[in-house]
Structure 1
Amino acid sequence: MSQYRRARRPYDEEPENHERWLISYADFITLLFAFFVVMYAISVVNTGKYKVFSDALGDAFGGAGAAIVQNTEVQTTPQATPQAIRRRAMIVQEKVRMTKLAQDLLSTMAPLVKEGKVRVTQNSRGVSVEINASVLFDPGEAKLTEASREALQAVASLLKDDPHAVQVEGHTDNQPIRNIYASNWELSSIRAATVVRLFIESGVAPERLTAVGHASNQPVADNNDPIGRARNRRVAVTILSGVPDPETEIPTAAEAAPAPAAPQPAQ
């Protein structure tokens, strides 16, 4: 049997290939190139081609059509013009001046503020000093009391050298007037004019002053009860801002919430 045995051929080993790594390297470079191509394609979206492609996919799969294209453009905030920057600076400076004025008025009227008869507020329109009519006038009258003259003269001393325009507004409740005045229009207007006349006598320039009567048309409380009517009988002295800012409401800088004023039997 041994003579029939074939001699086993030795195993032919393949020669070792030292350049096999080039295949893996080439695959890696190809994948890396594809990755950057995809990233570039995502970052630069052709809106028209994207919509056509999206519509085609939607029709093919029975969808509703194209998807919403997201806006990939960077939104830039327009730069402020020099004029806008200067105006904003003027508004800020004016707010500072008006806040200082509100604080001075609040300090001057402090005793009446504590009694709830005077309210000092600041807003986008300017600074307002709201004085209960019982402090200034006898019921149904438009002549200032002696005590009220001192308080108003103190206010006038602050406004005398101030350049802002001043508007004085008279207000009443809704009760019919029963004296020499034909209606609440006359009473509110004459009360405002009386305060203006005192300011002029105290040195405030007449061209800065305006007197307005509102009668009962701008109530701040309910006219159905005596306490509300007492609050509605008032005179408001408003120092108008020289650079109004209509976009924003200035936070209250000096404000004291008034206690309910004692009701008066008449205006």
Structure 2
Amino acid sequence: MARRRRKDDEHENHERWLVSYADFITLLFAFFVVMYSISQINEGKYRVLSSAIVDAFRSGNLPAPSTPGSGNANTMIQLPHTKPIATAVKGEARMRERQKLETLTGGLSKTLSPLIQGGQLSMRQDDEGIHIEIRDTALFPTGQASPLGSSPQLLATVARQLAAVDNQIRVEGFTDNTPIRNAMYPSNWELSAARAGSIVRLFMENGIAPDRLVAVGRAETKPTADNDSMEGRAKNRRVAITVISNTALQQSDVPAAGGTSSN
């Protein structure tokens, strides 16, 4: 009897470890199932999140998420406050750009002070950028497009200051409504475009990259004064140089630089 009881005890101990082993395998399987489930990434939502973050830092145009998160383990985290973040980034970029252009305006004012004091040049700054308007008599002989006198040296100094920034620059030539017809310029369109192109070429020769520049000839269009008087026609014969704000360029249809146009 003693021997039979000992054998029964040994048989019971052998079956008990199998139960423990089965419990261990079950727990291990459950562990790997959980790890696998939380490691899954919703690729579509990941791409949306990545694109949204890039947009926020580049332009600030980031839409708020339209659908709430489901709360599941494989759902990407929602960004409920992206508009305030985008607005702050956008506002900071606009402030830095404005400060940069204000510094540039101060330097240009000193360089161009003789023309400003003589009433031949006006300059202002707004959200689009820096606007410089120069009467044609300060730059060109009548009916010609080659800069005269000391104007090439003055424009070269301006060009070196503009070369220090990265903004695009638009140069526009304007005339009055008096027709012109000679062997070189059949109409005011050719004359205005040639004058704008002449200044663009001078800027390029003094360090401004060509892809930042555009020359536009506008002839007698967009007058600033009445062409019925001599004084009004003199005001309309001008060259306009616009240093375009980078923030304005991103938000509007400002003509891209890097070319020449007659309109």
Q: How does the TM-score come out when normalised to structure 1?
A: 0.61
Once residues 206 and 136 of structure 1 are traced to their aligned partners in structure 2, the CA distance between those partners, rounded to angstroms, is 22
* Bigger RCO (CA 8 Å, 6+ sep): 1
Aligned position for 2:103: 100
Aligned position for 1:117: 120
Once residues 189 and 100 of structure 1 are traced to their aligned partners in structure 2, the CA distance between those partners, rounded to angstroms, is 30
5+ residue gaps, structure 2, are 1-80, 252-263
CA deviations on 1:159-204 (whole Å, 9 max, x unpaired) are: 1121111110000001000322111111000100000000011111
Name the CA shift for 1:87/1:245 in 2 (closer, same or farther; >3 Å): farther
Deviation at 1:147, TM superposition (A): 1.3
Q: How does the TM-score come out when normalised to structure 2?
A: 0.62
- The residue identity in structure 2 corresponding to 1:129 is I
Aligned position for 1:211: 215
Aligned position for 1:142: 145
Once residues 170 and 137 of structure 1 are traced to their aligned partners in structure 2, the CA distance between those partners, rounded to angstroms, is 11
**How many residue pairs align between the two structures?**
170
CA deviations on 1:102-159 (whole Å, 9 max, x unpaired) are: 1111111001100000111111111011111001100001111131101111110101
Whether 1:87 aligns to 2:68 is: no
Aligned positions of 1:6-17 closer than 5 A: none
Once residues 79 and 196 of structure 1 are traced to their aligned partners in structure 2, the CA distance between those partners, rounded to angstroms, is 42
Whether 1:244 aligns to 2:248 is: yes
- Determine which structure has more spread, i.e. the larger CA radius of gyration: 1
Once residues 154 and 135 of structure 2 are traced to their aligned partners in structure 1, the CA distance between those partners, rounded to angstroms, is 12
SS of equivalent to 2:248:
coil
5+ residue gaps, structure 1, are 1-77, 248-267
Instruction: Answer whether contact 1:124 1:246 (CA < 8 A) is retained.
Output: no
- The residue identity in structure 2 corresponding to 1:188 is S
Going by fraction, where is helix more abundant, 1 or 2? 2
Aligned position for 1:197: 201
Aligned positions of 1:59-78 closer than 5 A: none
Aligned positions of 1:29-40 closer than 5 A: none
Percent of aligned positions with the same letter in both sequences?
Answer: 39
Cα RMSD (Å) of the superposition?
Answer: 1.8
Once residues 97 and 205 of structure 2 are traced to their aligned partners in structure 1, the CA distance between those partners, rounded to angstroms, is 27
Once residues 109 and 91 of structure 1 are traced to their aligned partners in structure 2, the CA distance between those partners, rounded to angstroms, is 26
Greater mean deviation of Cα atoms: 96-105 or 208-217: 96-105
CA deviations on 1:7-27 (whole Å, 9 max, x unpaired) are: xxxxxxxxxxxxxxxxxxxxx
Aligned position for 1:64: none
- The residue identity in structure 1 corresponding to 2:243 is I
